[in-house]
Amino acid sequence: MEFLVASSIGVLTAAGVYLILRMRTFPIIVGISLLSYAVNVFLFATGRLALNLPPVLSKDAAGYTDPLPQALVLTAIVISFGMTAVMVMIALSAYLTTNTDSADTNDLKAASGESAQAKDETA
């Protein structure tokens, strides 16, 4: 059990980090999602691993699992869900404006030419 949880966190993190180091926005987004899954599993494990135990106090329970990490994970899931949506929107509009999916700011001029629709364009 411990090995399973630990290795799943490790594999997710490794895959996430690898994808984030890509140069295109789509793999980066997938990588960030994988990382957030890894951190969610990790947060679960911080309350110690327990099987078939109630999270709420009751008189006839043999033991308890810690409910707080589960609340933390819920918060983290909601936040990462919202963040992913924002990130996809920004990546999409960057792609539609500049016609390239690259995450590098340096190759922008070559790719987009004059995208100076905003007069304050500083690039």
Partner 1 sequence: MNHLVIAPVVLPATLAPLLILAIRYHLDLQRVLSVAGSAAMVAISILLLGQASGGEVFVYELGNWPAPFGIVLVLDRLSALMVALTSVLALGVALYAIGSKWDERGRHFHPLFQFQLMGVCGAFLTGDAFNLFVFFEVLLIASYGLMIHGGGGARLRAGFQYVVYNLLGSTLFLFALGTIYAVTGTLNMADLAVRIAELPEGDAALIKVGGVLLLMVFAVKAALLPLHFWLPDSYANAPAPVAALFAIMTKVGAYSILRMHTLVFAPNAPEVAGLVNGLLPPAALMTLLIGAAGALGSVQIMRMVAFAAIGSMGTLLVAVSITTPQATTAALYYMIHSTFATAAMFLVADLLIERRRDVGGALVPGAAMRHNGLLAALFFAAAIALAGMPPLSGFIGKLMVLEATGAHPISGLIWAVILIGSFLMILGFARAGSTIFWRRPEEATEKPEADDAVASAEHESVLALASVFGVLAVIVVITVLAGPVGEYLQATAAQLYAPDAYIDAVLGER
Instruction: Kindly tell me which of 46 and 61 has the beta carbon lying closer to partner 1.
Output: 46
**What's the min distance (Å) between Cβ of 43 and partner 1?**
5
**Is the Cβ–Cβ distance between 97 and 121 less than 8 Å?**
no
**What's the min distance (Å) between Cβ of 83 and partner 1?**
6
**What's the min distance (Å) between Cβ of 52 and partner 1?**
21
- Closest alpha carbon to 51 in 39, 67, 63: 63
**What's the min distance (Å) between Cβ of 58 and partner 1?**
19
Instruction: Kindly tell me which of 65 and 80 has the beta carbon lying closer to partner 1.
Output: 80
Instruction: Kindly tell me which of 61 and 90 has the beta carbon lying closer to partner 1.
Output: 90
Instruction: Kindly tell me which of 60 and 91 has the beta carbon lying closer to partner 1.
Output: 91
Cβ atoms within 10 A of the Cβ of 10, count? 12
Which residues contact partner 1 (rule: CB under 8 A)? 20, 25, 28, 32, 35-36, 38-39, 42-43, 45-48, 68-69, 72, 75-76, 79-80, 82-83, 86-87, 90-91, 93-94, 97-98, 103-105, 108, 112, 115-118, 120-123
Instruction: Give the torsion sign (CA, 60, 61, 67, 68).
Output: positive
Q: State the burial class of residue 102 (Cβ atoms within 10 Å of its Cβ: 0-12, 13-18, 19+).
A: middle
List Cα–Cα distances, 28 to 46, 48, 82, 90, 103, in angstroms.
27, 31, 16, 13, 9
